[in-house]
Amino acid sequence: MRTTIVIAVDGVERHPFWPDGTEVTQRSGLEYEVLLPGGRTLSSGDRFTATAVIDDGGAIDSEKISGFLSFCEVPDAPVLFADAASIQEPGR
């Protein structure tokens, strides 16, 4: 079974690119924890608001990244989070 972390934006699954300094840990099975710079933690199932860019224009122009996204079979363009301070947790 293939595992990856995905997020849903308006009900569409996307692969997230977190801000520099973020640590993503697989806890068990498909359960993940995301430790953002500054100490905020997101866990599987959390909902949050953030400033982000959906890369539907091909800003990530790397053969390696494109191959990775294809392998993970995430159905739509990735989402880029540049600033950890913009990520707010309204709860689960």
pLDDT digits (tens, 9 = 90+) for 38-62: 888 998 889 999 998 887 766 666 6
Residue ranges of domains in the chain: 7-91
Output the pLDDT for position 80.
Answer: 87
What's the mean pLDDT in 23-48?
88
Output the pLDDT for position 35.
Answer: 92
Output the pLDDT for position 37.
Answer: 92
Q: Is the pTM of the predicted complex or chain greater than 0.85?
A: no
Contact 84, 37 (CB under 8 A): yes
